[in-house]
Amino acid sequence: MEPVRTCIGCRSRSPRSSLLRVVTQNSHVIADDSAVLPGRGAWLHPSLECYRLAVRRRAFTRALRVRGELDTSNVENRLKANGQLMSGSK
């Protein structure tokens, strides 16, 4: 049985393999594709909708237990690039 995690954006539970793990490094949120980077991680559906919900709810700082502002642009750019690749391949 595969582990289940909760998306910090939409708050729905999904298998770990369908979510993207993110961690913080030097006030930047980065995607952890292999889910092995050190530190506290949070899980997010790889969609712009869930990303925007997480930003609006300030879920990154709460889930990653950090104070201050976090730069989430790396994750946003990655999700936008993946969205363009998927929509271009249809």
End-to-end CA distance of the chain: 32
Residues 29-86 pLDDT 10s:
999 999 999 999 999 999 999 999 999 999 999 999 999 999 999 999 999 998 766 6
Determine the pLDDT at residue 83. 78
Determine the pLDDT at residue 81. 92
Determine the pLDDT at residue 89. 43
In the chain the domains, ranked by start, together with CATH numbers, are: 4-88 (3.30.1230.10)
Determine the pLDDT at residue 90. 38
pTM (2 d.p.):
0.88
Determine the pLDDT at residue 84. 65
